[in-house]
Amino acid sequence: MNGKKRSWTGVIAVSVAVALSLTACAPGAGSAPAESSGPVSKDVAGAGDVTLTVWDQNTDEGITDAQEKLNAAFSAKYPNVKIDRVTQSFADLKTTLKLALSGDNPPDVVQANQGYPDMGAFVQGGLIRSLNDYDGLYDWSSYYPESLLKINSFSADGKTWQGDNLYGISQTGEVVGIYYNKKILTQLGVEAPTSLDELEKDMAAAKAAGILPMAYGDIEKSPGIHLFGVVQAAIAGSDAVNKLVTGADGAWTDDASVTAAKTIQDWSSKGYITEGANGVSRDDALAQFEAGQSAFYIVGTWKQAAISEAMGDDAGFTTLIPKGADSPVTTGGEGLAWAVTTGSKHPDVAAAYIDFINNADAAKTFIDENSLPSVIPADYTPKPGLETDVFDTYGKVTSSGGLVPYLDYSTPTFYDTLTSAVQQLTDKQVTPEAFTEILQKDYSGFVGSK
């Protein structure tokens, strides 16, 4: 009995000691490495033998091949640099990157998602370094259009998105738009829509002809962001949505957002989108569209290669022009930002690497692999068909400032809030007004606490 009692007191004593040593400071205190502020250089060959650990999410076919080619080319140019590539899906990267960055041995180069939930939190935690000094060396500011640089920028404290410090550069361009089936539109005798009114007219015609107007599957919850984003952008315009997402001005309960919510619920009531979409997977909906069973499908340009392979010349891509505007406005931006970690021991090599895989030569590698680069080379003529649609649209929206950010960038918890609210909206569990109030509650809590 005696021994048993003693071992218990031992365990308790140890537990208390551990608990006390833990509570000595708040979680996260003193974990961020100090930012090096030494002089920067372009010199890679003189850095000696370096192993660069790189975390990316370029897993899509085409994009991963391009990445492999670029890595091989970099190592061929600088034999002293070995690239240790760690690649995983977007969702896996999102969940593991925070842990990797806050650990003792962070990777040197990582792909960080833009917006407050990821990049903002990394900047705030001092985990990725400002690239302003390297921008001076490599002149990214003149290669990328202003609108794309802004998306990858934050204030130094990580609290204001699109601030003065550049934290990354991106390889690929992204626009969310409406893919359409040319055969079905010809059969209905309508043109590809360029405004919300036209889209609704086309969908009504499809419905009347017994064709599903728009395939939509939302079991994974993320497609809801794109559906609402495209409609909201076409109603509110780029300025209002940009200000809203960056936290500069406006509210989710504003008229434009309520109208967008009403429009989507209306589509659901009229049977314009797949019935019971909350139980249909995104891939099943896409397969339905690809099989010619629906007239429209909303998704980003990253599906260009897949859709073009499945449908050939039957597929087209369009975006919507808001009332009173003369160019399209839609959700989009660029691929995840390539960033350099604060803990990297070889920032010069890391910066040279991200320049190498993002520059104009790299853009050509991506085009060769049927992917849309963030900056389309001026001398490149896209292949006729879907590629022309996609490349032209991207050129138009980036040059006219028609890109609005992904709505889930708004607050750290907005992804969950928005996706679950859209599911409630399409299933008529909430009114459009109540839908916008759910969003506003999350938003005002975050914006108010900044």
Partner 1 sequence: MTVTTRLRSGETRPAGAAPSRARRRRVASLKAFLYVAPALAFSLIFLIVPTLQTAWYSLYDWNGLSVATWAGVQNYIDIVQDEQLRDSFMHVGVLVVFYSFLPIAIALLLTMVISRAHALRGMSFFRTVLFLPQVIASVVIATTWLSIYSPNGLLNTLLRAIGLDSLTRVWLGDFNTALVSVGFVGTWLNVGLCLVLFLSGVGNVQPELFEAARLDGASGLQEFFGITLPALRGQITVALTLTVVSSLKTFDLVYITTRGGPGNSTSVPAFEAYNRAFNSGQVGSAASVAVVLTIGILLITALIGRLQPKDTE
Choose between 271 and 276: whose C-beta lies nearer to partner 1: 276
Q: Among 232-240, 248-256, 263-271, 277-285, which window interacts with partner 1 (CB under 8 A)?
A: 277-285
Q: Is 3 in the site for partner 1 (CB under 8 A)?
A: yes
Choose between 228 and 391: whose C-beta lies nearer to partner 1: 228
Among 8, 13, 18, 433, the residue binding partner 1 under the rule CB under 8 A is 18
Q: How far apart (Å, rounded) are the C-alpha atoms in residues 207 and 201?
A: 10
Sign (positive/negative) of CA torsion 83, 89, 94, 98?
A: negative
Q: What is the three-state SS of 429-446? A: CCCHHHHHHHHHHHHHHH
- Please, what is the minimum distance in Å from the beta carbon of residue 216 to partner 1? 11
- Please, what is the minimum distance in Å from the beta carbon of residue 163 to partner 1? 17
Q: How far apart (Å, rounded) are the C-alpha atoms in residues 277 and 275?
A: 5
Q: Is 439 in the site for partner 1 (CB under 8 A)?
A: no
- Please, what is the minimum distance in Å from the beta carbon of residue 30 to partner 1? 8
Residue 99 has which token pair?
């842990």
- Please, what is the minimum distance in Å from the beta carbon of residue 5 to partner 1? 10
Helix H or strand E segment including 369: none
Q: Are 362 and 137 in contact (CB under 8 A)?
A: no
Q: Are 251 and 448 in contact (CB under 8 A)?
A: no
Q: Is 221 in the site for partner 1 (CB under 8 A)?
A: yes
What is the DSSP code string of 221-263?
STHHHHHHHHHHHHHH-HHHHHHHHHTSS--TTSHHHHHHHHH
Choose between 87 and 222: whose C-beta lies nearer to partner 1: 222
Q: Among 17-25, 38-46, 140-148, 179-187, which window interacts with partner 1 (CB under 8 A)?
A: 17-25
- Please, what is the minimum distance in Å from the beta carbon of residue 195 to partner 1? 30
Q: Is 264 in the site for partner 1 (CB under 8 A)?
A: no
Q: Is 121 in the site for partner 1 (CB under 8 A)?
A: yes
Q: Are 171 and 335 in contact (CB under 8 A)?
A: yes
Residue 194 has which token pair?
């360029």
Q: Among 117-125, 137-145, 199-207, 319-327, which window interacts with partner 1 (CB under 8 A)?
A: 117-125
- Please, what is the minimum distance in Å from the beta carbon of residue 250 to partner 1? 23
Q: Are 419 and 225 in contact (CB under 8 A)?
A: yes
In the region spanning residues 408 to 437, those forming contacts with partner 1, defined by CB under 8 A, are 412-413, 415-416, 419-421, 423-424, 427, 429
Choose between 26 and 76: whose C-beta lies nearer to partner 1: 26
Choose between 25 and 45: whose C-beta lies nearer to partner 1: 25
Choose between 121 and 192: whose C-beta lies nearer to partner 1: 121
Q: Is 122 in the site for partner 1 (CB under 8 A)?
A: yes
DSSP at 161 = B
- Please, what is the minimum distance in Å from the beta carbon of residue 29 to partner 1? 5
Q: Is 27 in the site for partner 1 (CB under 8 A)?
A: yes
- Please, what is the minimum distance in Å from the beta carbon of residue 379 to partner 1? 42
Q: Is 46 in the site for partner 1 (CB under 8 A)?
A: no
Question: Which of 310, 314, 321, 313 has the alpha carbon at shortest distance from 295?
Answer: 314
Q: How far apart (Å, rounded) are the C-alpha atoms in residues 286 and 306?
A: 10
- Please, what is the minimum distance in Å from the beta carbon of residue 230 to partner 1? 20
Q: Which residues pair with 175 in a beta bridge?
A: 332
- Please, what is the minimum distance in Å from the beta carbon of residue 289 to partner 1? 15
Per-residue exposure over 417-448, b if at least 16 CB sit within 10 Å of its own CB, e if not:
bbbebbbbbbeeebebeebbbbbbebbeeebe
Q: How far apart (Å, rounded) are the C-alpha atoms in residues 86 and 83?
A: 9
Question: Which of 89, 166, 157, 174 has the alpha carbon at shortest distance from 133?
Answer: 166
Q: How far apart (Å, rounded) are the C-alpha atoms in residues 233 and 230?
A: 5
Positions touching partner 1 (CB under 8 A) are: 2-3, 6-7, 11, 14-15, 18-19, 22-23, 26-29, 94-95, 98-99, 101-102, 117, 121-122, 124-125, 127, 218-221, 275-281, 284, 412-413, 415-416, 419-421, 423-424, 427, 429
